Amino acid sequence: MDQKIQDLFELSQNGTKEERYDALLELNSTLEQPVDWSYDVWDDLIELLTDKDGHQRSRAAQYLSRLAAYSDPEDRILKDFDALWQVTFDGKFVTARHTIQTLWRVGLGSDAAKELFLQHVTDRFKDGDKEKNYTLIRNDFLQGMRNLYDETHDEVIKTQALELIDSVDDPKYQKKYAKIWK
């Protein structure tokens, strides 16, 4: 890992608000392609998923999702997915939501990672109707499934998403969710 990347991770955690945001954007862009230093930062990012600062938890989740997509040849995400998934239940809804919105990238990694992601999303979609903001969470999960489908063209994802939409009792939300798949 070169010094520039090390500096970006440092700024991402300890810079000013503007420096942290700029580092987030640059790291997210960098992580949209394979990198050879993923495991140099992996364990530190797993640790940050439980940091007291919601911004740190959110950033760690975003970085890990991208690393799992493009730079996880050992499939470590299979072992660490539960730690990442826990952030989708974060007490700070914005942290949970940022994690939910980036989590679909995990499915770009291995087939096993895709299955793990889809199983968790499907179960939560079906059982999460008692959660606060559950309609928004469902919307974000369906959008993530759409994003994953657009990248992989895996018809199983589309079929699962349409089945989830059909299972929604409220016609207003069923229509809203269906628009994601138009």
What CATH number is attached to the domain comprising 168? 1.25.10
- The residues near 86 (Cβ < 8 Å, ≥ 6 apart) are 49
- Evaluate whether residue 117 is within a structural domain: yes
- Evaluate whether residue 18 is within a structural domain: no
Joined tokens for residue 14: 């300890």
Q: What is the DSSP string of 53-100?
A: SHHHHHHHHHHHHHHHHHS-TT-THHHHHHHHHHGGG-SSHHHHHHHH
* CA pair distance 154, 64, nearest whole angstrom: 23
Closest-CA residue to 32 (of 66, 71, 73): 66
* CA pair distance 128, 20, nearest whole angstrom: 33
pLDDT in tens, the chain (182 residues): 899 999 999 999 999 999 999 999 999 999 999 999 999 999 999 999 999 999 999 999 999 999 999 999 999 999 999 999 999 999 999 999 999 999 999 999 999 999 999 999 999 999 988 899 999 999 999 999 999 999 999 999 999 999 999 999 999 999 999 999 98
- Evaluate whether residue 62 is within a structural domain: yes
- Evaluate whether residue 6 is within a structural domain: no
CB 50 within 8 A of CB 84: no
Closest-CA residue to 13 (of 23, 4, 3): 23
- Evaluate whether residue 25 is within a structural domain: no
Question: What residues make up the domain containing 120?
Answer: 31-179
User: pTM for the full model?
Assistant: 0.94
Decide: residue 165, CB within 10 A, 0-12 exposed, 13-18 middle, 19+ buried: buried
Q: Looking at residue 130, what is its pLDDT?
A: 86
- Evaluate whether residue 23 is within a structural domain: no
Q: Looking at residue 129, what is its pLDDT?
A: 84
| Domain count within the chain | 1
**Position 137, amino acid:** I
